[in-house]
Amino acid sequence: MKNTGIWMDKEKAYIIDIKENKEDMITIFSEIEDYRIHGGSGTRFKGGPQDVVQDSKYLEREKNQFKTYFKKIIPYIENADKIVIYGPAEAGEKFHKELEENYKKIGKKVKAVLKADSMTENQTKALIRDYFKNYKPHIL
């Protein structure tokens, strides 16, 4: 029985495999750009010149970068029996949605998607170890 826990945010993912009380961990970096929109009013006067900001262009690029990030993670989790996903932001939820839509076989192995703040590697290992030690089946 191979249990896999993933702690992920927009920047990186820690993938921890637990099999027969042995833990293996790998870190995958996302390469998702952290963009800040620059633009808006070019003057302090109402109705002055303004720059047009193309939000949709940035959001589409970010969406494609997330897909690339998720594809890098898939080979490390496809042989897991149970998967739990943790993270501080929406990255874990986006990943779960991607699994359910495009990787159905893996998506069925996800037992929970839970919120967790940023933590050290050892804290992450302990969190995932404790989850599977206390695991009780429930429906997502």
127 membership: H or E segment, kind and range: helix 121-133
- Asked, for residue 50, whether it belongs to a domain, the answer is yes
In this prediction, residue 40 has a pLDDT band, given cuts at 50, 70 and 90, of: low
Give the domain CATH number at 69.
3.30.420.60
- Asked, for residue 140, whether it belongs to a domain, the answer is no
CA distance 65 to 62: 5
- Asked, for residue 139, whether it belongs to a domain, the answer is no
Are the C-beta atoms of residues 114 and 84 closer than 8 Å to each other? yes
Task: Kindly report whether the global pTM for this prediction surpasses the value 0.85.
Answer: no
Return the percent helix, strand and coil in the chain, to nearest 5: 35, 30, 35
pLDDT digits (tens, 9 = 90+) for 118-137: 888 899 999 999 999 888 77
Q: Which domain holds residue 67?
A: 2-133
Split into its structural domains, the chain has a count of 1
- Asked, for residue 26, whether it belongs to a domain, the answer is yes
Q: Quick one: 62 exposed, middle or buried, by C-beta within 10 A (0-12, 13-18, 19+)?
A: middle
- Asked, for residue 52, whether it belongs to a domain, the answer is yes
